[in-house]
Amino acid sequence: MQFKTISLLVLFPLLSQAQDTTNIREVIVNQNRLQIPFHQDNRNIEIITAEQISRLPVKNINEVLGLLNGVDLRQRGPLGAQADISIDGGSFDQTLVLINGAKVSDPQTGHLSLNLPVPLDAIERIEVLRGAAARIYGANALTGAVNIITRRVDGTSVQANVYTGSSFKEREEEGKSGIYHHIGSQIGMSWQGERQQHQVFYNKEKTNGQRYNTAAEIDKIFYQGQTTLNPANQIEWMGAYIYNDFGANGFYASPGDKNSREIVETIFTSISSNHQLNDRLYISPRISNRYNEDDYRYNDADISTGRSIHFNNSFATELNARYTTDFGDFGLGLESRFEKITSSNMGRYDRDNYGAYTEFTTDKIANLTVNLGAYLNYNSQFGWQLYPGFDLGYNVNNQWKIIVNAGSSQRIPTFTDLYLQQTGNIGNPMLMSENAWQIEGALKFENEHITAHAGYFYRDIDDFIDWLRTSEQEPFQPFNMGQNKVNGINTNFSYTLRAPEVYYSATLGYSYLDPALKTDDGFISKYALENLKHQAKLLLTANSASWNIALANRFNQRISHNSYFLNDIRLGYNFPALTAYADVQNLFDVTYVESGAIPMPGRWYSVGVKYRWHQQKSH
């Protein structure tokens, strides 16, 4: 396998690429209150832009996240039908997911946090912030946060993306014939007027899976609008919907759930406004709502038993402000979040959460940038908590920078953690919230061609929650297992080369995790053996005006010593308004699992065509 991979990389420099117009150094990191240029940030942040995404062998958000350094994506089915995400060895419940800074994580269960109603073509960039992030984003950002930033309209346009693919392997189901396959389409339109702009996207995907009872059908609708009242006042609004119907063979309660099925529907809406009151004061209020329906059928052939229907809703309000002074910027924020669930399995519960932020940043000290602040949180179920943190950055010179940051955070148990009653899993209403603190030191380097980061972190989680059982005949149940300590090393290196007609890029990342998980003798852990120990990723892209090629290589080794090396490739050809492309994922047909005992697809071939008509607005 290694010789095959090396041969591909040797051929890589023979192809070239179009000019990339995105400068990562100029990207402003969206933290709701303080707006910090990427090259000035003192945290471990990775950003992937729409231009970078368009060149990779990916078709949905999940596949993009799986290529980012330190991010552990555990998929259970194709096309992102159901997947969990974690950062730096944490659990899937410990990563906060946001859209444009608004929280969309699911209070029912972290298994649904990636049920995101945003098509890939509607994304401007994805920001991954690693480490305890309560000071920035509030509760549940225990090990980090993923913030999905949607596109801004820059003219009137129409675009379409149609693709299909197959493994060309015969189906294994009895009484059925044919091969495993998928088909998908993304259609989008945007319009920009004098003071208003609108965009709408529709995404449809369908697959018969990669094995018995893993078929999936996914529909996404996304709309976003904005109006400019005057240069100092704007209003933005968004509405999105996703329908996700998939076979869940072995997803949650293997081996008994061979014929299970799950239907998940999510609606997410938000409205916000931005107001520059004077030269120093900026405020931004926001209201958002996430409604979710989850219909899980343990045996789809007989839904009279083992069926759970959940309805949950999260309504949130926020007020963020920034005040600029001659010696630094202050950020202030208030938020409230009201969560409720009505479930045939768990019953009816609701809880309220209130938070207050305070931050300060300054670069007025020679060669030093300072960010410090705290988040005060009250939860009606778990009481008061205070989470302080700080980031320091020392500029050795124009290229080298030393950063140190420390922070704390909380993860509030989901309704599933507390109240679930199923055949293979039962909740524990006596759970306490998880609390963590983390410290990191790192060295950064930046110049015209290179962006690099190398750091060490230590994280300590109190009252860590793990799902345990004493034998395979018993259901799993969550318990607070005491401390979970992790030592980690993270490196990331990006190189870009521009010439008059050529652009190359390479991104190399490596993470090492050394966790100390406390599990009493005689208990079987549901998640401990799945945590990553070694992770390496290498992304290579090249385009010319006519051709583009991308190689995505990743290696994962888990604590259980289960390891796999995956290689994906994309080849494309550009016409004036069209791009035709072909992907091969899992190029060398590796057999591997990412979650539980669910085998992932082998080699998979895809072809597609993208069309875009764009009319730039004249000024």
Read off the pLDDT of each residue in 334-360 and give the average, rounded to a whole number: 96
**Domain coordinates in residue numbering, the chain:** 20-607
Q: Which of 555, 554, 585 is nearest to 570 (CA)?
A: 585
Mean pLDDT, the chain, as a whole number? 89
pLDDT digits (tens, 9 = 90+) for 197-231: 999 999 999 999 888 888 999 999 999 999 999 99
Torsion of CA 516, 522, 528, 530, to 10 degrees: 130
pLDDT of residue 11: 35
What distance in Å separates the CA atoms of residue 392 and residue 439, rounded to the nearest whole number? 12
- Give phi and psi for 524, each to the nearest 5: -105, 125
The band of 172, judged by pLDDT with boundaries at 50, 70 and 90, is low
428 neighbors 415 (Cβ within 8 angstroms): no
129-138, 399-408, 477-486, 528-537: least confidently modelled range: 528-537
Q: What is the pLDDT of residue 170?
A: 85
Length of the chain: 619
Coil, strand or helix at 168: strand
> In the predicted model, is pLDDT for residue 398 greater than 50?
yes
Q: Determine the pLDDT at residue 560.
A: 78
For the record, the structure tokens of 315 come out as 């309504």
Name the least confident of 202-211, 431-440, 608-617: 608-617
**How far is Cα 102 from Cα 317, in angstroms, rounded to an integer?**
10
Of 573, 564, 566, 553, the C-alpha closest to 9 is 553
Chain centroid offset of residue 548 CA? 26
Amino acid at 450: I
Q: What is the pTM of this model?
A: 0.92
Q: How does pLDDT run across 78-124, given as a tens digit for each residue?
A: 677 788 899 998 888 999 999 999 999 899 998 888 999 999 999 99
CA 151, CA 477: separation in Å to the nearest integer?
41
User: What CA–CA distance (Å, rounded) separates 579 from 602?
Assistant: 26
Residue 138 to residues 68, 125, 330, 410, 420, Cα–Cα distance (Å): 23, 21, 17, 8, 25
State the pLDDT at residue 1: 40
Residue 378 above 80 pLDDT? yes
Judged by average pLDDT, the poorest of 1-5, 200-204, 267-271, 515-519 is: 1-5
| Weakest-pLDDT range from 68-72, 409-413, 531-535, 614-618 | 614-618
pLDDT digits (tens, 9 = 90+) for 526-569: 776 678 899 999 999 998 889 999 999 999 998 877 899 999 99
The mean pLDDT value for 504-521 works out to 86
| Number of Cβ atoms within 10 Å of the Cβ of 554 | 20
Residue-level pLDDT at 28: 77
C-alpha 572: how far from chain center: 26
Task: Report the Cα–Cα distance between both ends of the chain, in Å, rounded.
Answer: 54
Half-sphere exposure of 286 (CA within 13 A, CB side): 26
Q: How many helices (H) and strands (E) does the chain have?
A: 5, 34
Contact 98, 104 (CB under 8 A): yes
Sheet with 477-480, edge to edge strand ranges = 477-480, 465-469, 524-525
Please tell me which residue, 496 or 524, carries the higher pLDDT value.
Answer: 496
Topology given in CATH for the domain delimited by 20-607 = Maltoporin; Chain A (2.40.170)
Residues 515 and 90: their CA atoms lie apart, in Å, by 10
| Structure letter (DSSP) for residue 18 | P
Average pLDDT over every residue of 56-62: 92
Tokens of 580: 């035709």
**Residue 275 DSSP one-character state:** E
- Strand order across the beta sheet in which 144-150 lies: 44-49, 123-130, 144-150, 95-99, 102-103
Give pLDDT, residue 447: 92
- Band (14; pLDDT cuts 50, 70, 90): very low
What would the mean pLDDT of 385-393 be, rounded to a whole number?
96
pLDDT exceeds 80 at position 516: yes
Confidence of residue 471 (pLDDT cuts 50, 70, 90): confident
Predicted local distance difference test score (pLDDT) of residue 474:
87
Q: Are the beta carbons of 277 and 324 closer than 8 angstroms?
A: no
Q: According to the 3-state scheme, what is the secondary structure of 59-89?
A: CCHHHHHCCCCCEEEEECCHHHCCEEEEECC
Range of weakest confidence among 11-20, 181-190, 451-460, 604-613? 11-20
**Averaged pLDDT, 439-452:** 94
pLDDT at 10: 34
Among 50-54, 185-189, 240-244, 605-609, which stretch is predicted with the lowest mean pLDDT?
A: 50-54
Please give the pLDDT value at position 23: 66
User: What pLDDT is stored for residue 18 in this prediction?
Assistant: 38
How much is the average pLDDT of 354-367? 95
- CA-closest candidate to residue 550, choices 513, 522, 587: 587
Residue 233's pLDDT is: 97
Question: Average pLDDT for residues 502-511, to the nearest whole number?
Answer: 92
Question: What pLDDT is attached to residue 329?
Answer: 95
Q: pLDDT band at 4, cuts 50/70/90? A: very low
> If you average pLDDT over residues 594-599, what whole number do you get?
80
Task: Decide: 477 and 465 in contact? Cβ < 8 Å.
Answer: no
DSSP, res 353: E
Question: What pLDDT, on the 0 to 100 scale, is given for residue 175?
Answer: 64
Query: For residues 510 and 455, what is the distance between their CA atoms, to the nearest angstrom?
Result: 11
Which whole number is the average pLDDT over 435-448?
Answer: 95
Please give the DSSP secondary-structure letter assigned to residue 419: H
Share of the chain above pLDDT 70, in %: 93
